[in-house]
């Protein structure tokens, strides 16, 4: 027979594993959003990655509480400089993508 403490530990471990897998999925969506934004603006998406910078609770359009995750990425318009962009995810949807101002030199 399994005692309550063992069940609680198993539940906490299961929840932690689910959160980790879900976070990886959201990270992939954020990375794709950053890459697409760079492609649209004809700039180079550097390091092919995004990094998590903020995690908070927020409400979505339906009033449900979801996690708002903010990720940063770097891009370059010339290949010689690094500019910063960010992707804000609300739940599993892209809320916004913002990029630091830059100037294209001919």
User: What pLDDT does 59 receive?
Assistant: 96
Q: Of 30, 53, 34, 54, which is closest to residue 43 (Cα–Cα)?
A: 34
- pLDDT score of 106: 56
Among the listed residues 95, 99, 93, the one whose alpha carbon sits nearest the alpha carbon of residue 29:
93
Q: What is the pLDDT of residues 11-51, one digit of tens each?
A: 999 999 999 999 999 999 999 999 999 999 999 999 999 99
Q: Give the DSSP letter string of 15-39.
A: HHHHHHHHHHHHHHHHHHHHHHHHH
Single pTM value for the model: 0.85
Comparing C-alpha atoms, which of 85, 87, 86 is closest to residue 75?
85
Which positions ≥6 away from 55 have C-beta within 8 Å?
67, 68, 69, 70
- Helix (H) / strand (E) element for 79: namely none
């Amino acid at each position: 027979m399994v005692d309550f403490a063992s069940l609680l530990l198993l539940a906490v471990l299961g929840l932690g594993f689910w959160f980790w897998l879900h976070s990886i999925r959201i990270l992939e969506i954020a990375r794709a959003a950053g890459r697409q934004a760079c492609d649209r603006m004809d700039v180079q998406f550097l390091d092919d990655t995004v990094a998590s910078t903020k995690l908070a609770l927020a409400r979505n359009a339906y009033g449900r509480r979801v996690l708002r995750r903010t990720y940063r990425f770097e891009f370059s318009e010339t290949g010689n400089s690094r500019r910063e962009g960010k992707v804000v995810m609300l739940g599993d949807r892209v809320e916004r993508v913002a990029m630091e101002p830059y100037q294209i030199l001919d």
